Amino acid sequence: MPYNYTSGGTAELKLGDATYQLPILVGTEGEKAVDIRKLRAQTGYITLDSGFANTGSCASSITFLDGEHGILSYRGYAIEDLAEHCSFVEVAYLLAHGSLPTRQELTCFSHMLGKYALIHEDMIRFFDGFPANSPPMAILSSMVNSLCSFYPEMLDNPLENIDKMAARLISKVRTIAAFSYKKSMGQPLVYPRHDLSYCANFLNMMFDSPVQPYVINDTVVAALNKLLILHGDHEQNCSTATVRVAGSARVNLYASISAGINALWGPLHGGANQAVMEMLQLIHNEGGNYKKYIERAKDPNDPFRLVGFGHRVYKTHDPRSRIIKKACDDVLAALNIADPLLDIAKELEEVALKDSYFVERHLYPNVDFYSGIIYRAIGIPTNMFTVMFALGRLPGWIAHWKEMWDDPDWRISRPRQVYVGPRRRPFVPLDQRAG
Ligand code: SDX
């Protein structure tokens, strides 16, 4: 076994008169898996697991989640410690390289991020081709994919200079995001500055203007660092799994990340942070009647779901949501903002967590429930909230893409299926088809 699994004995599978022994693998945090990698060859059977709720796609050393106990760690470090003590750049290095950087490593990495902050001037003309109201996530995935054209060397050897490519992407995605906002506002682009930190640079590119210089607020910079850290990685979530599936065909990093950006866009996934704010705004506009929406969420005949609630893995509080909720109070107090949507969100949480529908289904606020409150307080428009999620998740996607390429167990992702369509039938020529 190429990973540091430990053996958990074997599982016995009886199929008809035959009995099969399947190895049990145990991960470093005690997670147990029945190894079915030879199941079809041995038995002719496959397994079926829609949404992969019970299926592990790989071994990974990047992030550990314990959904029953609300535990999250990156490379063994608790998310609470990282959010409290680190910058986003430190955590991006940790995710991509596997260890917290030394001071020298951090300086070197920060220098690379500064060096690669510009995008090719020819790329800036792409913005003019997008209609004014283009969705920022569509722009982001298109621009990231187009980066392959400006760095064709990665097409021949996707792994060559991977650390440089990763730093280049982490820096340029920040610039692309800010430029797309400026373009949408019809304002002049603000270029990155070498003297500003990662988050301060982003905020300056977003909000500085020739007629009103942006004053960098340390509280806002700290809040943005915390938010990006909390979005850094989350093991095999939908968008990360998409990056791995695309990358498993041995496509380059930028194309794989572009695929992940599109998966994240979904309202059930990263798009939820925008949908939460739209839901809270709707409730506010209707006089704060959140109970109506709780009843709608509980109605099996109503497709409405309480956005920002529920999670495939967490069956207790999402630890990130707790940290963000506290940060909301701190940031709004520091900026002297009173946001009625935060009050609605808190009341919604309090009522839902006492309601048997949510309690029985273990539905708690997830990472998206409160994050938009802070983005809004910072001044980021709602339609860019999922772009902010992508900015934070990028180091995690890169780490998983790299890990997959290094995986001795790697194979192209190609799930099986159970066919339930028509049985074999004779062909009918066109002139003999009824109707
Ligand atoms: C993210 O995977 C990750 O790690 C993702 C993420 C990350 O960091 O990458 O954490 C980020 O995507 C967070 C999730 C953001 N999405 C939302 O907030 C959208 C609202 N949430 C739901 O759509 C739902 O909870 C999911 C998509 C998050 C999880 O879906 P599952 O695991 O497939 O759960 P399910 O649909 O099987 O629901 C189980 C039951 C159902 O009721 P019953 O059929 O048993 O009666 O719970 C109900 C669901 O109807 N339910 C909800 C609900 N979420 C689940 N009912 C009302 N409101 C909700 N939000």
**pLDDT band at residue 52 using 50, 70 and 90 as cut-offs:** very high
Q: Ligand 1 in contact with 348 (CB < 6 A)?
A: no
Which class does domain 79-218+238-265 fall in? Answer: mainly alpha
* 201 pLDDT more than 50: yes
Rounded to 10°, the helix 136-150/121-129 angle is 140
Active site residue 311: yes
pLDDT tens-place string over residues 64-116: 999 999 999 999 999 999 999 999 999 999 999 999 999 999 999 999 999 99
Q: Can you give the residue ranges of every domain in the chain? A: 6-59, 79-218+238-265, 272-377
CATH of 6-59, one of 3.90.600.10, 1.10.3720.10, 2.60.40.10, 2.20.28.60: 2.20.28.60
Q: What is the mean pLDDT of residues 1-30?
A: 90
Q: What is the mean pLDDT of residues 53-70?
A: 96
- In this structure, whether the domain defined by 272-377 belongs to CATH 1.10.230.10 is answered with yes
Q: Ligand 1 in contact with 366 (CB < 6 A)?
A: yes
- Which of 306, 309, 385 to mutate to test ligand 1, by most ligand atoms within 8 A of the CB atom? 309
Helix (H, G, I), strand (E, B) or coil at 414: coil
Mean pLDDT of the chain: 95
From residue 247, give the alpha-carbon distance in Å to each of 95, 242, 259: 18, 8, 9
HSE-CB at 291 with a 13 A cutoff on CA atoms is 3
pLDDT tens-place string over residues 269-310: 999 999 999 999 999 999 999 999 999 999 999 999 999 999
pLDDT tens-place string over residues 365-378: 999 999 999 999 99
- Per-residue tokens: 347: 């009341």
Nearest CA to ligand 1 atom 48: 361
> Which pLDDT score, from 0 to 100, does residue 317 have?
94
Q: What is the mean pLDDT of residues 49-71?
A: 96
Q: Ligand 1 in contact with 237 (CB < 6 A)?
A: yes
Residue with tokens 């709602």: 382
**Greatest extent of the chain over all pairs of C-alpha atoms, in Å:** 81
* 2 pLDDT more than 60: no
> Which pLDDT score, from 0 to 100, does residue 292 have?
93
Residues 262, 137 contacting (CB under 8 angstroms)? yes
From residue 163, give the alpha-carbon distance in Å to each of 70, 118, 395, 399: 32, 17, 11, 10
pLDDT tens-place string over residues 341-365: 999 999 999 999 999 999 999 999 9
- Per-residue tokens: 384: 């860019």
Please tell me what DSSP assigns to residue 46. Answer: -
* 51 pLDDT more than 80: yes
Distance 348 CA to ligand 1 centre (A): 17
Nearest CA to ligand 1 atom 11: 269
Which among 231, 233, 234, 311 is annotated as catalytic?
A: 311
**pLDDT band at residue 327 using 50, 70 and 90 as cut-offs:** very high
Angle at 135 between CA 363 and CA 162, to 5 degrees: 85
Q: Ligand 1 in contact with 297 (CB < 6 A)?
A: yes
Q: What is the mean pLDDT of residues 223-228?
A: 98
* 11 pLDDT more than 80: yes
Residues 234, 392 contacting (CB under 8 angstroms)? no
Residue with tokens 């081709």: 129
What pTM was computed for the model?
0.96
**pLDDT band at residue 158 using 50, 70 and 90 as cut-offs:** confident
Q: What is the mean pLDDT of residues 167-181?
A: 97
Nearest CA to ligand 1 atom 14: 269
**pLDDT band at residue 1 using 50, 70 and 90 as cut-offs:** very low
Share of the chain above pLDDT 90, in %: 94
pLDDT tens-place string over residues 373-413: 999 999 999 999 999 999 999 999 999 999 999 898 889 99
Q: Ligand 1 in contact with 95 (CB < 6 A)?
A: no
* 210 pLDDT more than 80: yes
- Which of 363, 369, 397 to mutate to test ligand 1, by most ligand atoms within 8 A of the CB atom? 363
